Amino acid sequence: MFDHEQVVVRTGRRSRLPVIVAVHSTALGPAAGGLRLWHYPDWRDGLTDALRLSTAMTAKFAVAGLPSGGGKAVVVLPEGTVPEPDRRRAVLDDVADTIESLGGAYATGPDVGTGPDDMAVIGRITPHVFCRPAHLGGSGDSSPHTARGTLAALRAVSRRLYGTERLDGRRLAVAGLGRVGAGLARLLAAEGAALTVTDVDPAKRGISDELGAVWAAPDGIHAADVDIVVPAALGSFLTRQSAAELRCRAVVGPANNQLATPDVADLLHRRGIVWVPDYVASAGGVVHAVSVEVHRLAAEEARARVDAIEDTVTELLRTAESQGRTPAQAAGELARRRLAATSDPAAA
C-alpha cells in the first residue's frame, strides 16, 4: 500500500495536537514537502493525507529531475477551530522539534494553512525549512512560482492540442482563487485567455470582476464549456461523475490530489481528455524554493527549472501518445526509472 522510509506521529508537547511527518523517500536526496495545518475528523485522516501527499512529492521531484525526495508534514486541527496566535506558535514549535529530530532527512515549507511567516518561526528551531520570507534570506511566497509552473504546463498542452503555445483566445475555467489560483488567473488574463472562474468564498468574486471573467458556481465549473479546466483548490476535484460531465479537451491545474480514485485518469483518457498529473503541473513552487534554499542555486537558475516544466510536460505527452498510454502512466514510469537509477545507474 504505502512504502515510506519513516513516519513519525506524535502529540506535540506544547500544543497537544497530533503532529505527523511522513518521509516517503530519500533515494534522490533529503526529502522535502509542505506543512499542512488542516481540520480532519480524526488524526488517522491526517495520516492518510500525509502518506498520499509525501508519495506524490517523491514523484514530483523525480519527474522534475531534482535531487530531492518526498515528504509531508500535517498537523491535525480539531474541526471548527482556528488556533489563536499563542497556540499557533506552540504548534509550529512542535513541528520544528519533530523535523529537527529527523536529522536533516526532511525539510518543510508552506502548504494549506501555512505561509512564509510560519516557516520563519520553524526556522528558529531547525534549519530544515524553506520558503522563509525574503527579508530573512528565504525564497518567500512560493505561490507565484507554482502559478508560473502551471502556466508552463498549460503552454505545453496548448501546443499539443492546438499547435501553438499561445493561450490568447483560449477558454479556461479556473476552479479556486486562493494564492495560486488567483495568481494563475491573472497570468492567464494577461495572456489573453477567456476565463471562467469560481471559488467557495463568494468574496473572491471581486477577482473575477477585476479580470473580466465569467463567475460560475463552484459545484458546476467542472462542466463549463471551455477548452481547458484548471483545478486550483483542494483535492478530489475529478470523480467518476465529474469526469463524465467534463466538456473540455484537457484538465491541467495546480491542485494536489485531483483524482478521487486512480481509475479516473483512465476514464479521462478514454474520453480523449488530456490530464497532466497534478504533481507535474504544480511543481513550480517547490522546485523554485528547494532550488534556492536547499540546493543554493541562483534565482535565475531556479526560474529556469520552473520554466522547464513546459519541456517536461511536452515530453510526457509525446511519450504517452507514442506508447498509447496516459500521461499519468508516462509520468509514473519516468519517476520510477529515475528512482531506480539511484541503485542501478543502468536503469536511467
Q: Tell me which residue of 23, 70, 18 sits closest to 45, measured CA to CA.
A: 18
| Three-state SS at 330 | helix
Query: Is 72 one of the annotated active-site residues of the chain?
Result: yes
* Whole-number Å distance between alpha carbons of 300 and 26: 26
Q: Nearest-CA neighbor of 238 among 325, 179, 248?
A: 248
Roughly how many angstroms between the first and final C-alpha of the chain, as a whole number? 25
Check 24, 60, 72, 338 and give the catalytic one.
Answer: 72
In the chain, where does DSSP find H-type helix? 43-64, 85-101, 116-122, 143-162, 179-191, 205-211, 240-245, 264-270, 278-281, 284-293, 299-307, 309-323, 327-340
Query: What nine digits make up the cell of 189?
Result: 488574463
Q: Could you tell me what percentage of the chain is helix, strand and coil, using 3-state DSSP and rounding each to the nearest 5?
A: 45, 15, 35
Distance (Å) of CA 337 to CA 3, 50, 66, 277, 321:
17, 24, 14, 17, 19
CA distance 256 to 176: 12
Residue numbers annotated as active site: 72
